[in-house]
Amino acid sequence: MDVKEKKIIDAVSKVLSLQTNEIDLNTNSDNCLKWDSLAQINIIISLEKIFNKKVKTSEINNLKSIKNLIKYF
């Protein structure tokens, strides 16, 4: 796992109040109950701060999986 992946998984697990081992590359909003629309916004904002990169509003709904988050950031 590279640094970026680790950073993203750490941030997402923190927002979702889950252990890092409960999240992997296949986690997304469909297979994780806690990943709801509020969590989605909180994930985006926390990653924006970590990577210092702004997310366009229209992208929010496309970034509902670990894979897509890794691709974007």
Partner 1 sequence: MLFHSQEFIFIFLPMVLLIFFLIKKFTKISTKYVLILSGIIFYSYWNFILTPIIIISILVNFYFSTQILNSVSTKSKKINLIYSILFNTIYLIFLKYTDFIILNLNSIFTLGIPMTNFPFPLALSFVTFQSINFLVNCYDGVIDKIKFKNYFLFIIFFPQLIAGPIVQYDKMMPQFSEDKKIDTLKKYILIGLVIFLIGMFKKVFIGDNLSILVEPIFNSNNSLNPLDAWIGSIAFTIQIYFDFSGYIDMATGIALLFGINLPVNFDSPYKSRSIIEFWQRWHITLSNFLMNFVYFPMLRALKKITFFKSMFLILVTFLIAGLWHGPSWNYIIFGALHGFGLILNHIYRKYIKFKLNKIFLIFITFNFVNLSFIFFRSESIKDAIFMINSMFDLTKINTIQLISLEYHFSILILVISLLIIFGFNNTNYLITKFKKND
Residues in touch with partner 1 (CB under 8 A): 17, 33-34, 36-38, 40-42, 44-46, 48, 56-58, 60-61
CB 45 → partner 1: shortest distance, Å? 6
The C-alpha atoms of residue 47 and residue 52 are separated, in whole angstroms, by 8
Q: Which is nearer to partner 1, 22 or 25 (CB)?
A: 22
Q: Which is nearer to partner 1, 24 or 36 (CB)?
A: 36
Contacts of 29 (CB under 8 A, 6+ apart): 35, 36, 39, 40, 64, 65
